[in-house]
Chains A and B, each alone.
Chain A
């Protein structure tokens, strides 16, 4: 992975001279300076950059501008909306300017290092002969391996929100792709960013590789002996403490109960920073069956954005199934404290501060008739009251056909109130199922952690064994864990990395990755999956099973035998047969947990909201790196976070109004203070974020994450206390300095619309002008509009007027049996990003690092464009996956001077990397801005462990080469060869692209357009199907299906303040 990233220290320090520093910290100003004249490029390195001439618009002005705008209006970033000079400058250039890398010493060093390696390899590549290659055949070949054909193994990704059943693709027994298990009823083949990211986690070159004792190499056996001696010396386990991440494995739980039997005074503390005090650690587990829900209410539950919410794959699939056709639409109401994709997809969204949500939930419960709830009196605004009344009415009208979903990170009363509302509405047993927890050892993690800290301070802890836990980094700040930690006599740490805790523990044991070891776990409905290793531990890692087993009668019993031992109780019939079937299928049949009859009555207390002027700090696990466990996964670091499109950092995410109130701008540094603890963070605005509240993502600010994760972002754990783990009142103030952040949403905009005589209202981006009117990129209708005008997506647009004779170039004739095409459902896509990470793994896409992302050089072949609509304070968002459209009349092909991008007989635009000389004309001419150029040698050809990870069917691209989505041509070719061999046509659905495979909502459909019965051909014939920028006559093979939304007419009639003018 690239090391070309900057650290927050470097952006705030002033060691490099003011000009350079300012230049580096304010890329937009830098861009502006570059564009001001041909000579400014050189000068800007030496002299301070001039401030932009024009003041940025104030929020009031932005709102004025919105009010006066006619028709639907979309925007992608606040800069664009305000039409700032920085934005103007950014769109002038296709690839934002790039002076930094020669100025910034860190980056230049990294570049020279990379260059050195590549020069040694490259030379005059065209004229020299290839180096001699060696073949290392097997000594004894495995029987079931056909080299060149992948094997697939069913396994599961154990995660604290429920295991995700997986089907892992292995090439020569090296795992090269982790996808969902298509036969499992829970996720049906879909996955999420974490599950996809586990692959790079396995091959992470920074994983710990040796057993260490106080920094010296030791043998694992020595550790085992020391632990066994200590435990037997203690007789009953006194002083032996285990600190583990939440235990998800039934086998580990069984092993622990046996340890407990043998050593009753040994203690186990589970601590997961992103799960403490949530429903994940409670004794009951709530499942939702959204296919039967006409009305869905989210009380701060972000169930559509990723696996941070339990049951994500099923919830989002059931949700999307009811959005695909307009005849049976559901309706989503979201009440939320931070801007999430759930809120953005909802028909009606109400942004409330986190502490207001319990009171709102109580008011809702009272309104729908839950007995025994007294809502705290609170001064709700008119808008909020209207929302509540309409919501309660809609819920009552849909009793038994609705679901109220509580947020994980809310007060316990919200969970209880949601259960009570569901009970009162008769949803329990229909759309809501309550079972016992799927995590086998529910516990009060906060209380346990406090007790552990107390015992440590009291000197009671002889041995502290940490299993996949990193308390030094992520323990609540008020426990002063680092101080307490040193009072343990011996500390031992099992982990994938020598992380913050591993650094100061006496013992460090490298952990086995989940793709390297046996285990088991329960998925959402409780069905047990066996976690099957795909590869021997790369660095001799050990699993938690092995550590606990050391204390039992058979200390060397392998995790394999331990898991078999546990599952003897669950596998019915002949064990060996059942075991083999469980391994083959990926789950043990009939192990789902039975539903209990009903929810407990509500008898809790509802906390009163904090004062409206108080600033609330909201802590959330990061959507990409969760609690920090995926910090060193470059794919996930570089992934733009949903809604705010921020990558490589976390930020203080606030609303536009709060930004104005604080008198700060984006990228300014603010100091967040909670109970006297302080941390510095960059400011990022999120449209729709509630005022007077700040969202911060956990998981950043690592000091020992590895080459990718260390130093990125700030550590929000430093201000997070044990009694309020997910929100707390605090304060925020501006401090000096700028913190350059990498936000991708302003990339890939061009100034074409002006040339084409666009609206000419001064906002010359693809997003604004072209999202309007006849070129509309986003087309949607309400259900009523759709009923009145089913052809809304195409009427008034030029789409079907495509005139084959208007092109200067001769038209392609297609005689082949197959014409590949793709259809993307705009109603289904929730912007969860799983497709992007899947594409990373499938297509060997390089990670470029923060600096390169900041100058617009990220290499993702597919991106999710987020178009906001309407008011800055209460927008709706549309998520549009954007990748190569495979135009039949492709602008890129005509301008390539070397024939490196050409048209295939089946209608694809194919890239021939070895022909590309890097003129970038193709990218200039691409109206969709989907081509990616390797400005530097981004691919890592050196690191051994990463070589194992590559997909052998896709070329690893080098410097100076353009690349783009190929519709996964390697998969098409593989199926074509199989079909030709068998003398048959390719079946519909036989070829699945990587993005389609990962998509939990099945928003992406791929297939043969010539086969009129194929899914994609039917979708293309759908009246709501439209092409993007069809008037350019590019005739894209990818089409989009316009969404139909189902708003509540009562709420439509009472527009909220600053509501956009509806077109």
Chain B
């Protein structure tokens, strides 16, 4: 009886095996890419909001501070979405006839909330807490991106677990002085842009944010402004408390503990200690985010 399969079918069989493998791999890669894609994560997508609110205009253009609207970011897990009243503080006076603001006026008149679409939406089983992040040196822009450059709000990052863990495994690479938390334009220190920091009065019960002092201007050369401010705010820092009032015109000696940092790595590890940030083992434990 003749062979059913020609010799060439061996090659065919091998090829189909390889092909099947490739297809399986391709499928896996596709699915993997798909679930990381903006289609799933909504990264970079601008939702259709009831009012096309521009962060760029309000932050960069008008210079509103983040906390003017997001009032509870330092005190609560939730940063807060401003009530209509916050909008009306200004828009009762300006742009009172703008068509674009009709939903705001409507809300104010009827007492019904403005239904914003949530842009940064974590799954319900993940618990994120704003207050601990901003109190320990994670700036707004680290997660939310350059909001001051976004005419319409979108998510800069995926907010997927992988992305969270990236930082929780090595927080040093994103830490910045708490005085720079709301600074949208903050850039990591470099040789050109060094940062000077000092720790004073480190003491249990005093928030670490208060005992760490950082500046982007060289404290040894800067004008008296910074130094004077320091002296006035922190009487304990002055060696001669009695002459505080007269000290104003005299350049105050700079505390010797100011350290100069020229890279994020140096600064990050300094702040890691200064802010007493928990170790990565602790920060990546499941119960930190899942309860």
Contacts and interface: CB of A to CB of B under 8 A. Distances in A.
Interface of A: 126-130, 132-141, 146-149, 815-816, 902, 904-906, 908, 910, 912-914, 953-956, 966, 969-970, 972-973, 977, 980-985
A173 to B, nearest CB: 14
Nearest to A955: B125
B85 A146 contact: no
Given A913-B125, A954-B291, A969-B291, 7 more contacts: A138-B113, A902-B286, A905-B282, A905-B285, A912-B286, A972-B287, A984-B204
B129 A147 contact: no
Contacts of B113: 136-139
B264 interface: no
Interface string B57-80: 000000000000000100111101
B291 A129 contact: no
Given A139-B107, A140-B83, A134 B286 contact: no
Contact of A139 (B108, B204, B279): B108
21 contacts: A133-B117, A134-B118, A135-B118, A136-B113, A137-B81, A138-B83, A138-B84, A138-B85, A139-B107, A139-B113, A146-B76, A148-B76, A149-B75, A902-B286, A914-B290, A955-B290, A966-B287, A972-B287, A973-B287, A981-B135, A984-B204
A38 to B, nearest CB: 36
Nearest to A958: B125
Contacts of A149: 72, 75-77
Contacts of A905: 281-282, 285
Contact of A914 (B84, B125, B281): B125
B31 A127 contact: yes
Contacts of A983: 203-208, 211, 276
Indicate the member of B39, B40, B47, B131 with the most A CB atoms within 10 Å.
B131
Given A140-B84, A914-B123, A983-B204, A127 B291 contact: no
Q: Which 5 A-B pairs have the closest CB atoms?
A: A148-B78, A148-B76, A136-B113, A138-B83, A141-B83
Interface in B11-55: 31, 34-35, 39-42, 47
Indicate the member of A126, A906, A914 with the most B CB atoms within 10 Å.
A914
A133 B39 contact: no
A136 B207 CA distance: 33
A129 B160 CA distance: 12
B242 interface: no
A970 B291 contact: yes
Interface string B171-212: 000000000000000000000000000000001111110010
A135 B47 CA distance: 13
Contacts of B77: 148-149
A968 to B, nearest CB: 9
Interface size band for B: 35 or more
B41 to A, nearest CB: 7
Contacts of A146: 72, 75-76
Contacts of A130: 121, 123
A981 B134 CA distance: 10
B132 interface: yes
Contacts of B276: 980, 983
B278 interface: yes
B111 interface: yes
Nearest to B48: A132
A141 B85 contact: yes
A759 B20 CA distance: 58
A249 B211 CA distance: 53
B279 to A, nearest CB: 8
Contacts of B132: 977, 980-981
B112 interface: yes
B127 interface: yes
B138 to A, nearest CB: 13
Contacts of A816: 282
A985 B203 CA distance: 12
Contact of A137 (B116, B208, B279, B285): B116
A972 B285 CA distance: 13
B83 A132 contact: no
Nearest to A951: B291
B82 interface: yes
Nearest to A137: B81
Contacts of B206: 982-983
B276 to A, nearest CB: 6
Nearest to A149: B76
A141 B87 CA distance: 12
B124 A132 contact: no
B115 interface: yes
Interface in B98-141: 107-108, 111-118, 121, 123-125, 127, 129, 131-132, 135-136
B288 interface: yes
A746 B77 CA distance: 43
A953 B107 CA distance: 30
A686 to B, nearest CB: 39
Nearest to A140: B85
A904 B40 CA distance: 30
Contacts of A908: 287
Contacts of B135: 980-981
Contacts of A904: 285-287
Contacts of B291: 953-955, 966, 969-970, 973
A973 B288 contact: yes
A872 to B, nearest CB: 44
A742 B176 CA distance: 59
A913 B75 contact: no
B270 to A, nearest CB: 16
B206 to A, nearest CB: 6
B83 A982 contact: no
Contacts of A902: 285-286
Contact of B285 (A132, A910, A954): A910
Nearest to A956: B124
Nearest to B47: A132
A129 B42 contact: yes
A981 to B, nearest CB: 5
Contacts of A141: 83, 85
A982 B205 contact: yes
Contacts of B35: 126-127
B46 to A, nearest CB: 13
Indicate the member of B107, B136, B288 with the most A CB atoms within 10 Å.
B288
Contact of B131 (A134, A138, A815, A977): A977
Contacts of B205: 982-984
Contact of B127 (A126, A953, A972, A985): A953
B196 to A, nearest CB: 22
Given A134-B118, A981-B132, A910 B287 contact: yes
B110 to A, nearest CB: 8
A129 B34 CA distance: 10
A725 B188 CA distance: 80
A497 to B, nearest CB: 31
A904 B35 CA distance: 28
A557 B123 CA distance: 47
Nearest to A903: B285
B76 A980 contact: no
Contacts of A955: 124-125, 290-291
B204 A985 contact: yes
Nearest to A135: B116
B117 A132 contact: yes
Contacts of B82: 137
A980 B279 CA distance: 13
B193 to A, nearest CB: 28
A129 B41 contact: yes
A810 to B, nearest CB: 15
A139 B40 contact: no
B43 to A, nearest CB: 11
Contact of A982 (B112, B207, B278, B279): B207
A66 B205 CA distance: 61
B131 A981 contact: yes
B108 A980 contact: no
Given A140-B84, A983-B204, A985-B204, A127 B34 contact: yes
